[in-house]
Amino acid sequence: MAETVRAALARAAGELAGWSASARLDAELLMAAALGVERDALLLGRLDDPSPAAFETLLDRRRLHEPVAYILGERDFWSITLEVGPGVLIPRPDSETLIEVAVDHFGAEGPTTILDLGTGSGALLLAALAQWPRARGTGIDRSDAALAIAARNVERLGMADRATLLEGHWGRAVAGPFDLILCNPPYIETGADLAAEVRAYEPAGALFAGIEGLDDYRRLAPDIARLLAPHGLAVVEIGWTQAAAVSALLAETGLITMVRQDLGGRDRAIVARH
């Protein structure tokens, strides 16, 4: 008798539980993809179906620690769904803190001009543009692979008339000013112990930033101060131990800073203004 979806999920979740913090969810997402349905439809009406052969193919990739987002080719972030793949950092829920800060500051009216430094998949830029339909924005990245994925996300979300993508290193390619500057730079210390699925699959250039994890903040701080509009806001993601160091780097450029925590209560972003 063929293995049911229910049994296959239990088996897969048990197997992945030794190293994945989201083993059951991983299995459900892969099974939904194998069946060609949404996860809700899987859980509500397909658990007693025969497990499809495609599930084992997807599960084999996860057994090699390939991130689920890369296997599925997409990731939800804020109110949008983004294409992701090798060459871009996978958007994390913690990074939504940056959008939350901006919404708290600008409200429904929103900013007019937005800059996303190190745009990657376009996650922060496109989430902000989805939040404020009258805004226009620019995303900058030095990775051709990232810009290619970001460009496809711009098209799939119908934002080609409002989003501009540029190749460049941080803020050198633009003159500003911008009402809102968003940035999730590399901030992990070289040699840090990372999960295999991160170290082996996600781009090192989007992860590591020197011995202290601060190299890119040193490069960014002058650009942010120069490009930020007089009454604008910059929101920069940090590692949870870096608040004091990054605040000091931004303060050296004359910016006023405060720290914002994520939903887990950890320092997650530095908010800066003139």
**Model confidence pLDDT, tens digit, residues 58-77:** 999 999 999 999 999 999 99
Residue 213: pLDDT above 90?
Answer: yes
Given the structure tokens 């720290």, which residue do they identify? 259
- Distance, in Å, from the CA atom of 257 to the CA atom of 266, rounded to the nearest integer, reads 17
Contact (Cβ atoms closer than 8 angstroms) between residue 185 and residue 217? yes
**Amino acid at the residue 180:** L
End-to-end CA distance of the chain: 68
How would residue 129 be classed by pLDDT, with cut points 50, 70 and 90?
very high
Radius of gyration over alpha carbons of the chain, in Å? Answer: 20
Backbone angles phi, psi at 62, to 5 degrees: -70, -35
Closest CA to 118 of 163, 170, 174: 170
Q: Percent of the chain, pLDDT > 90? A: 97
Average the pLDDT over 245-257 and give the result. Answer: 98
How would residue 270 be classed by pLDDT, with cut points 50, 70 and 90?
very high
Would you call the peptide bond into 177 cis, given omega within 30 degrees of 0 as the criterion? Answer: yes
pLDDT tens-digit map of 154-184: 999 999 999 999 999 999 989 989 999 999 9
- Distance, in Å, from the CA atom of 35 to the CA atom of 1, rounded to the nearest integer, reads 19
pLDDT tens-digit map of 11-24: 999 999 999 999 99
115: CB partners within 8 A, 6+ apart:
137, 138, 139, 140, 171, 174, 176, 178, 180, 181, 182, 227
User: Count of CB atoms within 10 A of residue 161's CB?
Assistant: 8
- Distance, in Å, from the CA atom of 41 to the CA atom of 48, rounded to the nearest integer, reads 12
Residue 191: pLDDT above 90?
Answer: no
pLDDT at 79: 97
How would residue 2 be classed by pLDDT, with cut points 50, 70 and 90?
confident
Q: Map residue 66 onto helix, strand or coil.
A: coil
